[in-house]
Structure 1
Amino acid sequence: MIATLRDAILHIADLGGPVVLLLGALSVLVLAVILYKLWQFTVVGVGRHKALRQAIHAWDTGDRTTARRYLGQSHSYLVPVVTMAIDGQNDPARLEAEAEMRFARLESGFRLLESVAQLAPLLGLFGTVLGMISAFQALQEAGAQVDPSILAGGIWVALLTTAVGLAVAMPTSVVLSWLEARMDGDRVLAQSALRTILSPEGRASGVMPAAEPVHA
């Protein structure tokens, strides 16, 4: 099996050159990062905040007991931040910093995916340019007895690197956009939750409003 894998790698190297090998290595790295991010998002519950939303709504209407009960049922990674706000932390900057720390941990690896999405087509184009140079050198060495198959073969091999580069870049860009959209949605939810908790519309259940002074 190792010998078969080695032969396949050597065949790819002969066909597309080192650029294709580099793009293949990047594709393996990207796949590993994507699988890890999907597992991480599933574990921490990115995008799954039903109980947390119910807790925020209950707090906004003044039902503190129900809000805490829903908060205890939630498995969202934003629960510690919301709990801080409910327990009396009223500094918006501190709460937003706590939320951003959690977002930063979940967004680790995004820069790598973005770099690969931008770099892979350029690497493919670079391989194509190198392949075209080799093809025209072979055409020049052929002299007057030019065989069109030499040029055609060199061109399709050269264009192969561009195709591989695009094949790596396009799915990476799509997955990255989806991951970023999930995080953007959670960031909006966190901001809305903190503002709602710090400035709820309703009053706590059982608390009577203060009497307004009577002016003569």
Structure 2
Amino acid sequence: MLPATEPFGSLLSRLFDMGGPVMMVLVAIAVAGAITFIYLMLMGTLYAPRLTARLKKIVTIWQQSPATVRPADLRRQVGAVGRLNPMLHLIADTIEACQHQQDSGRVRSTAARDAQQALEPFEAPLKIIEVIAALAPLLGLLGTVMGMMEAFSAMAATEGRANAAQLSGGIYEALTTTAAGLIIAIPFAALAAWIEFRLRRIHKTIDGTLVTVLNATNHVDADRPELQTPAVDTTAEVRAHRNPETAQDYPDHGRPRFAHATG
């Protein structure tokens, strides 16, 4: 066993001696995963789409009296931190486009594209954490296999005269990498599941908010039916936005992990 009171540098050196190159790789990916998680938390704090009380109020006013909503005023009223919220720009841009009587298909396509872009900064760090969670046990197993091969190779070199203490010591050192791989993989797997759950919740919030904003466009210039555009199939519009050439027959398995909002 490694003594708990041993200095960190000496403990790390012993781990490297016991696990060899595989242990070094495990430590490196653990550090990379920790940095990625910290980065993801900072990005989430500053740039994650949030439906604040002010934005909820604006959406409610937009539903009841669209003519009174001024997206430019909304952008000016929020502070510097509020402007970092992608939900603010999604709502303001969509309302502004609806007020300017832009084509409804174009409005929906733009909203879908912007909603996906709001989530893209979080998908790459999530993928890194998922890869670490999947790779760590395999690296640990590789280190154990290499250690066992070395232990039995030493036993074969002595023509079977190695004692049990020598053999068990080699096996113990070989199993260290498996333990290290599991210690790294378990928390990162839990973190990946939690982050994905949070991203799905954010996606549902974006989707529900933009659908509410777009559905309220029926009240804009209700007395001028000639300006109103017919309803469109949102799902088909989003698929056409992704691949115009195959918009008529787009396979469902081609959808990304987080579907576009309004889609």
Q: TM class, shorter-chain normalised? A: 0.7 to 0.9
Q: Which structure's relative contact order is higher, taking Cα pairs within 8 Å and 6+ residues apart?
A: 1
CA change 1:61–1:170 in 2 (3 A) is farther
Map residues 37-186 of structure 1 onto 2, 5 A cutoff. Answer: 37-47=40-50, 49-62=52-65, 65=68, 72-73=77-78, 75=82, 76-89=85-98, 90=104, 91-186=107-202
Give the aligned residue type for 2:126: F
Whole-Å separation in 2 of the counterparts to 1:10 and 1:208? 74
CA change 1:208–1:119 in 2 (3 A) is closer
Per-residue deviation, 1:144: 4.7
Secondary structure, in 3 states, of the residue corresponding to 2:97? Answer: coil
Give the aligned residue type for 1:14: D
Q: Is residue 135–residue 151 contact of structure 1 (8 Å, CA) maintained in 2?
A: yes
Secondary structure, in 3 states, of the residue corresponding to 1:108? Answer: helix
Whole-Å separation in 2 of the counterparts to 1:195 and 1:55? 14
Partner of residue 33 from structure 1, selected from 14, 36, 58: 36
Whole-Å separation in 2 of the counterparts to 1:52 and 1:168? 40
Whole-Å separation in 1 of the counterparts to 2:222 and 2:11? 77
CA change 1:8–1:55 in 2 (3 A) is same
Query: What TM-score, normalized to structure 1?
Result: 0.80
CA change 1:87–1:70 in 2 (3 A) is closer
Give the aligned residue type for 2:87: L
What are structure 2's unaligned runs of at least 5 residues? 1-6, 99-103, 225-263
Q: Which moved more, 1:137-146 or 1:171-180?
A: 137-146
Aligned length: 205
Whole-Å separation in 2 of the counterparts to 1:37 and 1:9? 27
Per-residue deviation, 1:51: 3.0
What are structure 1's unaligned runs of at least 5 residues? 211-216
Partner of residue 195 from structure 1, selected from 202, 211, 222: 211
Per-residue deviation, 1:147: 1.2
Per-residue deviation, 1:209: 6.8
Per-residue deviation, 1:95: 0.9
Per-residue deviation, 1:99: 1.4
Q: Which moved more, 1:147-156 or 1:30-39?
A: 147-156
Whole-Å separation in 2 of the counterparts to 1:47 and 1:156? 50
Whole-Å separation in 2 of the counterparts to 1:65 and 1:182? 34
Per-residue deviation, 1:100: 0.9
Q: Is residue 127–residue 161 contact of structure 1 (8 Å, CA) maintained in 2?
A: yes
Give the aligned residue type for 1:125: L
Per-residue deviation, 1:39: 1.0
